[in-house]
Amino acid sequence: MLNQQRWIEELNKNGISFFTGVPDSYLNGFCTYLLQHVPGRNIIAANEGNAIALAAGHYFATREIPLVYMQNSGLGNAVNPLASLVDAHVYAVPMVLLIGWRGQPGAGDWPQHVLQGEITPRMLDVMHFPYEILTDDDDAAAAAIERAAASARERRQPYALIAPKGVMAGEKLNNRDETYPMSREEAIETILDRLPPDTIYSATTGRATRELFFLRERRNEGKQHDFLNVGSMGHASSVALGIALAAGKRRVVCLDGDSAAIMHLGAMTMVSKVSAPNFLHVVLNNGAHESVGGQPSAGHLIDFTAIAAACGYATVGGPVTAKEALIQALRDLSNADRAAFLDVRIHKGLSGKLPPLDFSHRAAIDSLMDELNP
């Protein structure tokens, strides 16, 4: 693992002192160091495209090269502003991209990372961005930073540094937080207990998918009613709405996360254009990017309920923070005449140790499709 203090010092030495991006487990040591030691110069963005644009604005105002960090899955969100805002043919914005390399060929990873890992270098090639792969050698990393900064400055375009597993590793933040009494698992189980047994669930990337999966096992329930959105962060609610629109009166619930909902917040506006009274959108809001290290999100700083109401959802007027309030809210929204929304405030941390989520994606989706198309 690289020495993060030296890494930041080398970046500063090369004129890079502004940071923005989306936290990644492979960059956890770096993201945690920024949070603890560079609070005023680090913005955790809503999504990777948002980070690219923030970095461009910083460059326009200061002429200083920014650094944008992300998991390689986030390159998809970043491609549009990289190609049509910062490219040398447009506004020619120099920046350093620090990319966690999930799914690196030969390294082994979960299915949702395999293709993205394979195409990561090729995506950079297609955009004509130079890049190099970091190792855990501090002197080599210092030289890479110097090359990246010099190239970005001279050519006025991005230069990428790709971080394989372990290079930017670090201790996760202490995620225990008792601000709100409910855990994610308790909230999910409360919903499972109160809604019809044939309800279809779409669970968001990260802990929600794992907790729903293992709750089903513990409760001896079949999993053919669940869509586990293991990748494509921020899109679980759109998948759920697509199902709901075709599922007649059958109940469809999205178990979303605050960071995921924020990543593609515009998706919430879709309920203003359609009739989906069978759709319930639940944001399990712990105010953190918990799955990748516990860095804070804007989840506890914004009014999700007001946003949802403005988008056309039925709501209960504010967040629910305890089990009894969640039960009452589910009752109140059970006969809503349109799509419904709940902001469920939960504390960070797991109620128990979860094993890795290892299942056949193809078998799971085929079972759900058989359930929906008997």
Residues in the chain, total:
374
Residue 114 in tokens: 């395999």
pLDDT at 175 over 60: no
Residue 129 in tokens: 């961005």
> Are 92 and 156 spatial neighbours (Cβ–Cβ below 8 Å)?
yes
Quickly name the fold that domain 184-372 has. Rossmann fold (3.40.50)
Q: Do domains 4-163 and 184-372 have the same CATH topology?
A: yes
Quickly name the fold that domain 4-163 has. Rossmann fold (3.40.50)
Long-range pairs for 1-4: beta carbons < 8 A, 24 or more residues apart: 1/29, 1/136, 1/166, 1/167, 1/168, 1/169, 1/170, 2/29, 2/134, 2/136, 2/138, 2/141, 2/167, 2/168, 3/138, 4/29, 4/30, 4/32, 4/33, 4/168, 4/170
- Please, is 298 exposed, middle or buried when counting C-beta atoms within 10 Å of its C-beta (0-12, 13-18, 19+)? middle
Enumerate the domain spans of the chain. 4-163, 184-372
pLDDT of residue 316: 97
Bridge partners (DSSP) listed for residue 228 = 203
pLDDT at 370 over 60: yes
Please tell me the least confidently modeled range out of 51-55, 171-175, 253-257.
171-175
CA 8 distance to own-chain centroid: 24
Average pLDDT value over all residues in the chain: 94
- Tell which residue, 85, 89, 90, 99, has the closest CA to residue 57: 85
pLDDT at 171 over 70: no
Please tell me the least confidently modeled range out of 62-66, 98-102, 286-290.
286-290
pLDDT at 176 over 70: no
pLDDT at 157 over 80: yes
pLDDT at 254 over 60: yes
**What band does 174 get if pLDDT is binned at 50, 70 and 90?**
low
For residue 181, count other CB atoms closer than 10 A to its CB.
12
Q: Tell me the per-residue pLDDT of 295-340, one tens digit each, with 9 for 90 and over.
A: 999 999 999 999 999 999 999 999 999 999 999 999 999 999 999 9
pLDDT of residue 340: 98
* Mean pLDDT value of segment 260-274: 97
**What band does 8 get if pLDDT is binned at 50, 70 and 90?**
very high
pLDDT at 280 over 60: yes
**What band does 126 get if pLDDT is binned at 50, 70 and 90?**
very high
pLDDT of residue 290: 86
Please tell me the least confidently modeled range out of 116-125, 181-190, 345-354.
345-354
